Chain A
């Protein structure tokens, strides 16, 4: 059972809190990226919160997820610590990956998060692999692979779904159809009406759900999880959603207009879920504002943690390559540095 199922009042509030946390985390990450404190590429998840949170609400804490380049939301939904996430974005040693991964590679295999991924379409084979381990060791978990609508065109995605289907593995594939693959609309990349139609090729269920509705996503994943656990194999889910920001921070978005973005914002996942909780009498406006303030404080703390954390020492670049180290790399790690000796490719 998830640690925040949407079936309880407490769980629903937790889901709302996680959606807010994602939005605040990513808004803040965007600001520090603009300031130049966060290097690299940053792809924000704002607008798509219901998908990650809905999915993880339906998963057990021990289940695996494999993520995408737009992975911050999946991490928070899965319960990863925003401090360590932010520290990773800032390139600090205390980040999830010791500063070696950054935004596109945050991972915490121990908590079932098999990594954000810089390669479009590379997550589904990873989910199939985790599902293979689960099946092989007769364990009770499932593995869910997130992918974008653009990734659906990748050959390795097809191979991964086909393999999971052929072997009846406990896998779930969840497409986040945010309508664009970088700057190209989904209709120009696929010739099917619904991306979930492709499930027919594997003889597995394919469903399309409203990705702005956290409950709809959770229900679809719940169903898929049951199927997977019963040994009936994978499910292919498409969640229709929308990203409010550019593909990456700095994207000028010539491919779409403000009206379109505004139309989707009318159906904002956080606003609508909040509205429903208020209608049910589970939440008041004041409580919502308290929750928001709490989340803002959490993320402010994460930034402070990240800013104060130590950067890695240069020689840490030579650590973590192998479990059983090799002399080729050790030579670099062990060379004297005090005199500012040569860096990188000096093999002497």
Chain B
């Protein structure tokens, strides 16, 4: 049995939330310089309960409750990372990243380059994204395209429990700033997760979640699961390949283009607003590298440049879902 196959054998069933918590626990056990900080991550266990129990296990030095000051603690994490520790920062909702954007874009992202490569920046920022909870515009944002767009930052967005664990661990081990975007609607989603403590998902490697011949769906976060369901349902008529890029920057262009060479058709499904974002990036790379493989126009599924409204019928109207993915497939299959 190959090492990889062996790894794949030893798994346990975990939710995305548990997978991330386990990733943090393992990395904190492995490396004393790793600690977690953010609003209510300690005693309270995190507003979405991701860090629950870590405070009791590791104490307040390593699971630090911060004041409500995103600029202050993201800035402090940046300075701390530049001087020899490996902070993992939680930003409660991704919408609050605006408050810390100066430290993110001008300090964390630029220091290594501006200093001629003479400093590392081993900071991880975790945050939660997405609509579906009726949390309205200021708690439902999907902003990963900002970070993916900004030079000097890496952005990952898991769609399964296994990638949630593997990407979180890779982010913590990375000497570069990595943002982990967790979709809040999939925290309860279950799946098989490798138990090996050295299991990581390399940043920049997409995963083919399902093989198919007719249409490639590149889907992220919650839309990975929804696209897989759609693919199952369409199986009799259309063979759908589903790829989770997992890492948004860097992006595994090769895996995506290779798939489109085979299928000739592409749907990009990502919850962020449609304009100027992830969809456009994936589509452009496919056109730059595989234009002549395309047999049909590329289709985008995303949020129609609105904010996430509060009222359930409005939210359901704009929130991209499996039905949208199915329609997109049917338009081109």
Contact = CB atoms under 8 A, between A and B. Distances in A.
A100 B114 contact: yes
A324 B75 contact: no
B71 A321 contact: no
Contacts of B71: 125, 155-156, 159
B82 interface: yes
Interface in B119-167: 119-121, 151-152, 154
A85 to B, nearest CB: 13
Given A129-B81, A136-B61, A327 B114 contact: no
A130 B75 contact: no
B250 A126 contact: no
A320 interface: yes
B117 A109 contact: no
B302 to A, nearest CB: 22
Interface string B51-81: 0000000000100101101011111111111
From B66, B69, B121, name the one whose CB has the most chain A CB atoms within 10 angstroms. Answer: B69
A118 B61 CA distance: 32
Contacts, number: 168
The range of chain A's interface size is 35 or more
B258 to A, nearest CB: 14
Interface stretch (B6-14, B104-112, B210-218, B324-332): B104-112
B107 A132 contact: no
B106 A115 contact: no
A107 interface: yes
Contact of A323 (B84, B107, B175): B175
A105 interface: yes
A158 B68 CA distance: 12
B175 A107 contact: no
A156 B75 contact: yes
Contact of B113 (A66, A160, A320): A320
Contacts of B15: none
Contacts of B84: 133, 137
Interface in A268-292: none
Given A130-B80, A326-B204, A327-B250, A159 B72 contact: yes
Given A156-B103, A326-B249, A327-B204, A320 B83 contact: no
A239 interface: no
B116 interface: yes
Given A119-B107, A326-B249, A125 B72 contact: yes
Contacts of A127: 79
Interface string A296-318: 00000000000000000000000
Contact of A108 (B67, B74, B77, B118): B118
Contact of A126 (B64, B79, B249): B79
Interface string B258-294: 0000000000000000000000000000001000000
A132 B119 contact: no
B82 A105 contact: no
Contacts of A159: 67, 69, 71-73, 75
Contact of B72 (A117, A134, A162, A324): A162
Contacts of A347: 288
Contact of B106 (A96, A119, A162, A326): A119
Nearest to B103: A125
Nearest to A104: B114
Contact of A322 (B67, B75, B77, B176): B176
A129 B118 contact: no
A66 B119 CA distance: 14
Contact of B75 (A107, A128, A166): A128
A98 interface: yes
A257 interface: no
Contact of A327 (B72, B113, B253): B253
A8 interface: no
Interface in A75-128: 95-101, 105, 107-110, 114-115, 117-119, 122, 124-128
A115 B103 CA distance: 14
A158 B253 CA distance: 43
Interface of A: 64, 66, 95-101, 105, 107-110, 114-115, 117-119, 122, 124-134, 136-137, 143, 155-156, 158-160, 162-163, 166-167, 319-324, 326-328, 347-348
Given A129-B80, A159-B73, A327-B250, 9 more contacts: A64-B83, A105-B115, A122-B103, A125-B76, A125-B107, A129-B75, A162-B69, A320-B116, A347-B288
Interface of B: 33, 35, 61, 64, 66-67, 69, 71-85, 87, 102-103, 106-107, 111-121, 151-152, 154, 174-176, 203-204, 249-251, 253, 288
Q: Which 4 A-B pairs have the closest CB atoms?
A: A129-B79, A125-B75, A159-B72, A320-B117
6 contacts: A97-B114, A114-B82, A115-B111, A130-B80, A131-B79, A160-B75
